[in-house]
Structure 1
Amino acid sequence: MQRRTFLSGTVLGAAFAALPASALTATTAAAAAPKAPVTSVDALQKAIDQAAPGDRIVVADGTYTISGKSAIKVTGKNGTTSAPITIVAASRGGVVLRGERSFVFSKSTNIVISGFAFRQSSTLEIPADCSRIRLTRNDFQFADITKLSWVLVRGDDVKIDRNRFHHKTTAGLFIVVDGPGADAMAQRLQVVKNHFSDHSFTGDNGGESIRIGFSGRALSAAHATVEHNLFERCSGDPEAISVKSSNNIIRYNTIRDSRGGIVLRHGNGSTVEGNYLLGGREGLRVYGNDHVLVNNYVSGLSGNALVIGSGSTRDHHEGETEKQRRGNDACDRAVIAHNTLVDNKKGALAGESRTYEPRNVVIADNLLVGKAGQLVAMDKTTGFTWRSNILWGAASNGNIPTGGFTRVDPRLRRESDGVYRLSAGSPAIGAATLKSPVVTEDIDGHQRGSRRDIGADEYATTAPVRRPLTKADVGPDAA
């Protein structure tokens, strides 16, 4: 597929210009005269309307205001997986888009939007009739309008990566994921290496950084993956990442100094793995069935590290009323293993007291350390399995059953990144007993081997492959 580039002044163009005219064939002459960057909204729209698979449209740096109800329309444009249509700012953040709307997508696939600074006052939507749309290396700071959500995903196979979402003081979400119809979910969303920061809305609901689904879509599988993202001062809601659908993966994220935590609020069969929650308020909270929470590190929170939720219903099911579906679904058959919960003010593991107690949850090979209060404060439970957990610190054991733990000093050492890891001779080394599910790596990316250690960290003398994320790891300039 021939790739056309709407850009002038390239090194290749200069090289061709140095050749004698007789050396240029018709083909090389065409290649030597790429189009200049577009410099107006009208020129951009014309370039999009004419775009073919593999084309790269470059927008000259500057501020562009889309007037009134107008928009930059991407309609009926279809790149391919190997040759997408790319619309890119001449320099990252150098093109500022103002006005009510920017890009409006319809019936399009394999489109890449890169390098823009979005400053619009309405939602940027990827509708259900579009797929494989990528938003990459952009800066999002929409008008600070209450209940305005910034990016809405309804289409399949969308990728949102290496962007910055920042500075909102009102209700509304940075990213919300829905789907077609009343109960379906957009499929296979990827949210990767983004930087979310500074959402300061003080209400108790409606200010999540990411929400995947909502109550009416709880039983629908989304297969979304949220990984390697950094959240800082994300305090618009107690849920920074709110999962309200089924079969999702939330892994390798870092949440710092935020009111919001990671909450499996609705849905079943999701995995929460290898996340750092540091120095904020809310930790992990889980409702629904058949979830797996492994290798998470939760430290320095003013709230509970991990809440195993009770329910206003045993299980959500088809035919519920809207009010019933909004209720909490008791946590059943979860596996909570190889987590490290250290120095959280309200304790490590906590329960709730709704009508339906959690059932048949496995809590194994976790490391619980605290200075005050109770390490385990569960309400009523049924059929829980407790095994091979280590408890330590001035905090009391709480109501963890005898035989489900050992009270022994795990010999933690605090390293340069602020994380407590095992030191040589720790009784946690080789002491894990849970056989299934198989947890092959630790939070650092080290292999666990056949003799696994208790907690999120597998003792190693080599440097971690993964650490808590910093601003250098995410956002528009990330690798």
Structure 2
Amino acid sequence: MKLLNIIILVGIALRANSATIPVKNTQELKEAMTGIRPGDTLVLQNKEWKDAALQLKGIGTAQKPIVIRAESPGGVVFSGNSYVQLGGEYLVFSGFHFKNGYSPKREVISFRIDNKTLANHCRVTGIVIENYSQPERFKTDSWLTLYGKHNRIDHSTFGNKLNAGPLLIAELDDERSQQNEHQIDSNYFKGRTRFGSNGGETIRIGVSRYSLTASRTHIVHNYFEHCNGEVEIVSIKSGENVVSFNTFFECEGGLVLRHGSGNIVEGNLFVGNNKPYTGGVRVINPKQKVLNNVFFQLRGTQFRAALSVLNGVPNSLINRYYQVTDADIERNTFIDCSSVLFGAGKDAERTLSPQKVSFKNNLIINHSKQLYEDANQDKGIQFHQNAVSSSFKGQLPEGFIRKAFVQLNKGELTLPYDEKAGANLPQLSFITKSETGAQWYQPEILPSRSAAQVYKVSAAQAGDLPSIVSKSLSGDTILLTESTNYLMKESLIIDKPLIIQAASGLKKRPVLVNGSFKSIPAFIIIENGGALKVKGLAFKGAYESYGNVESGIMSSEEPMNKPYVLKVDGCEFFDFNESTQSGFKGSKGTLADSLLFQNSIFHHMSGSGINLATEKDDKGIYNAEYTIIRNCIFSNLLGSAINVYRGGNDESTLGPFVTIDHCTFNEVENREQGTVIRLIGAQQADVKNCLFSESGQGGRSVQFQEYRWDKISVDHCNFYASGKIESFYNKAAGKAIFSVKPIYKNAKTLDFRLMNALPKAKDGTALGANF
């Protein structure tokens, strides 16, 4: 559809009085453009405006702004490829709803029309943007970008942005946009899913190139809920900004003073509620102030600590880490937080410890025996008049005293208070969700279904499976009813939550095979919006003289922006006879929120069992956030059983998380310098209770390439005639590592039950898989 190009040119007219001008269609809009002046209001008719490209240019005044609003708040819906560009002075853009589309430009709403026409003293208020992400995950844009000076974004609601790029940006790319005094206030940031890469910030102010410049943006009275895109929720990359009186609710990450100096973080509330990885404030660069904040039950550590003050880099480039000096961290309250860390990120590059840091009049209530950690211990942190509760049992550090505190009720929280230590609670009023966002907005409630449908499919109906999957609805189940071959001629496309499983009582698994002479990429392909549970099926890669199948299951190679979920239980993958083939493959550009493989067997394959190694750009990107492989067997594989890859040294993410528990690896990847389990760059990896026999003989059983802060472990595992455990820091192997020959009941028939006594697993059961 051709875009509706609307250019509103507002000039000074000869009319004496302000006017309200209704706009019902394109023709009326063109007529309304003539003679619009300060104080006029342009009212867009309630309806869907699809593919609307609006350039709103005009000159209003402080007393008589030009208002562009919906006929009723939320009544105008911009969809498709709609976007808005503001230019001029004193424009107010109010009451609109963006959904079901994405912008073809760099921004959905931009405070400039072009490099010559910026917006100043303009306001976007009472809008909602949701379901407006680029369909391709790594196609970068922002929903709002501030240019010019003295602009405001307020009382708006922003849903889950799924693609790359901060939701909201303040740019400082020329002098007309610097020292800008923008205000971002009273907005509701309604979550952001883990992005699995850098570029998942909610707000970014500035960029490293202009970070020595003052922005003077105020981020005030906003509510951030479940903003988990990456480690930086709010990324400050400029100077003299103020971030105050915001609430961060259960957010996996923190407010990061990444670049710039002279920033103030004051009066904010960080609520973790003991959720993993919830964070607070990270301090980098000189002359930063962190004052009068409350940090409650935050469980993040390292860069996600309640407070982390980083080490700097000598002679740092502008995009690295300047040394922290002359910082004031005063009158903050830390309640039951996992970590307060000085010298975070200390390594071979970041060697400059924080200096002249005043940590004064703070209150730490902590049930552990350690109040804080100082990685440098060189007196660069000056502790004065801080307090802990009288019940603290640990050794009291210098600069702390024990005190008894009164309890004050602050909304839903009851917090300790003292006049001299901790946040000044009587003067703080924490912002609540109901006080922010577009007040007219009510989330759409989808109608519920009375019951999910169950489709029973015989082998003779195998050709109907694609159409059955297509017509099924979310939550439906497809049952394969026969223990025989199901001849597939095309892939099953999963774009909704479904269950595909064998009928109960079958003696053998139904077997999916290719019944076409053409190769197909996979028996099952998970596309955008898909989630799948597969149980009790077999996937056979080669069948008679029919075409090849590259993978049993894979994520789509088409654009995806939503993380997917896959659960595989009691399945079998075999006869994938090319080195490029695999039982499961995560495609490039896709992210699994979670993968679960349990009670399953991968055998007689030339490729890999589970391939999560398609992101090879070394930018910290990976294929799956959580991967759990439990009670599985891998036997007679020419390639790796499990291949996970995350390249590069980007520090924006936590994952991938990998757990491999009670698995058996027999005759897997015995080529020269081969590896049974490749966990390259996995930041959280645990291999436990596993049994390796005659695997990785030409190289490694388990291989890591970790950074010093990664948490990796191999323990309670048996390695018989198998390769080594290899890691960069040689700290992966635990104490319970064994080398005893296992005797299996019948390895040739894939019965790997143990017939002899081996050391026990950590949980007291037998090592390896048991089925």
Do they superpose with TM above 0.5?
A: yes
Q: Kindly indicate whether residue 102 of structure 2 is the aligned counterpart of residue 121 of structure 1.
A: yes
Q: Does the C-alpha gap of structure 1 residues 62 and 466 become closer, same or farther in structure 2, counting only changes over 3 Å?
A: farther
Contact 1:170–1:201 under 8 Å retained in 2: no
Q: Kindly indicate whether residue 376 of structure 2 is the aligned counterpart of residue 384 of structure 1.
A: no
| Corresponding residue to 1:454 among 418, 421, 439 | 421
- Tell me, in whole angstroms, the C-alpha distance in 1 between the residues paired with 2:249 and 2:392: 24
Partner of 2:328: 335
Contact 1:131–1:156 under 8 Å retained in 2: yes
Deviates more, 1:164-173 or 1:219-228: 164-173
Give secondary structure in 1 for the equivalent of 2:318: helix
- Output the amino acid matched with 1:368: I
Contact 1:218–1:244 under 8 Å retained in 2: yes
- Tell me, in whole angstroms, the C-alpha distance in 2 between the residues paired with 1:95 and 1:355: 55
Shift of 1:284: 0.6
| Structure 2 counterparts to residues 201-220 of structure 1, below 5 A | 201-220=194-213
- Tell me, in whole angstroms, the C-alpha distance in 1 between the residues paired with 2:412 and 2:248: 14
| Corresponding residue to 1:57 among 42, 50, 73 | 42
Contact 1:293–1:335 under 8 Å retained in 2: yes
Partner of 1:374: 370
Give secondary structure in 1 for the equivalent of 2:354: coil
Structure 1: stretches of 5+ with no match in the other structure = 7-34, 317-323, 423-427, 430-452, 459-463
- Tell me, in whole angstroms, the C-alpha distance in 2 between the residues paired with 1:407 and 1:170: 48
- Output the amino acid matched with 2:312: G
| Corresponding residue to 1:39 among 16, 24, 37 | 24
Partner of 1:406: 401
- Tell me, in whole angstroms, the C-alpha distance in 2 between the residues paired with 1:475 and 1:415: 21
Q: Kindly indicate whether residue 254 of structure 2 is the aligned counterpart of residue 261 of structure 1.
A: yes
Partner of 1:467: 429
Structure 2: stretches of 5+ with no match in the other structure = 1-14, 441-771
Contact 1:53–1:78 under 8 Å retained in 2: yes
Partner of 1:305: 306
Q: Deviations over 1:3-57 (max 9, x none)?
A: 4332xxxxxxxxxxxxxxxxxxxxxxxxxxxx5x212245335434542111011
Larger Rg: 1 or 2? 2
| Structure 2 counterparts to residues 122-161 of structure 1, below 5 A | 122=103, 123=107, 124-127=109-112, 129-141=118-130, 143-145=132-134, 146=137, 147-161=140-154
| Corresponding residue to 1:284 among 281, 285, 309 | 281
- Tell me, in whole angstroms, the C-alpha distance in 1 between the residues paired with 2:49 and 2:175: 36
Q: Deviations over 1:256-311 (max 9, x none)?
A: 01113111110000110000000151111111111111110001111121011111
- Output the amino acid matched with 1:347: S
Contact 1:178–1:186 under 8 Å retained in 2: no
Partner of 1:347: 339
| Corresponding residue to 1:95 among 68, 71, 76 | 76
Q: Kindly indicate whether residue 204 of structure 2 is the aligned counterpart of residue 224 of structure 1.
A: no
Q: Kindly indicate whether residue 211 of structure 2 is the aligned counterpart of residue 249 of structure 1.
A: no
Partner of 1:29: none
Identity of aligned residues (%): 29
Structure 2 length-normalised TM = 0.49
Q: Kindly indicate whether residue 352 of structure 2 is the aligned counterpart of residue 356 of structure 1.
A: yes
Give secondary structure in 2 for the equivalent of 1:54: coil
Shift of 1:2: 4.4
Q: Kindly indicate whether residue 60 of structure 2 is the aligned counterpart of residue 79 of structure 1.
A: yes
Give secondary structure in 2 for the equivalent of 1:43: helix
Contact 2:368–2:394 under 8 Å retained in 1: no
- Tell me, in whole angstroms, the C-alpha distance in 2 between the residues paired with 1:43 and 1:465: 52
Shift of 1:81: 1.2
Contact 2:98–2:128 under 8 Å retained in 1: yes
Deviates more, 1:369-378 or 1:282-291: 369-378
Shift of 1:376: 0.9
Contact 2:410–2:430 under 8 Å retained in 1: no
Partner of 1:109: 89
Give secondary structure in 2 for the equivalent of 1:334: strand
Deviates more, 1:359-368 or 1:132-141: 132-141
Partner of 1:191: 184
- Output the amino acid matched with 1:312: V
Higher relative contact order (CA 8 A, sep 6+): 1
- Tell me, in whole angstroms, the C-alpha distance in 2 between the residues paired with 1:118 and 1:227: 24
- Output the amino acid matched with 2:308: V
- Output the amino acid matched with 1:154: Y
Q: Does the C-alpha gap of structure 1 residues 193 and 49 become closer, same or farther in structure 2, counting only changes over 3 Å?
A: farther
Contact 1:170–1:200 under 8 Å retained in 2: no
Q: CA RMSD of the aligned region, Å?
A: 2.5
Partner of 2:158: 165
Partner of 1:21: none
- Tell me, in whole angstroms, the C-alpha distance in 2 between the residues paired with 1:289 and 1:413: 34
- Choose between structure 1 and 2: higher strand proportion: 2
Partner of 1:435: none
- Tell me, in whole angstroms, the C-alpha distance in 2 between the residues paired with 1:2 and 1:465: 47
Shift of 1:468: 2.7
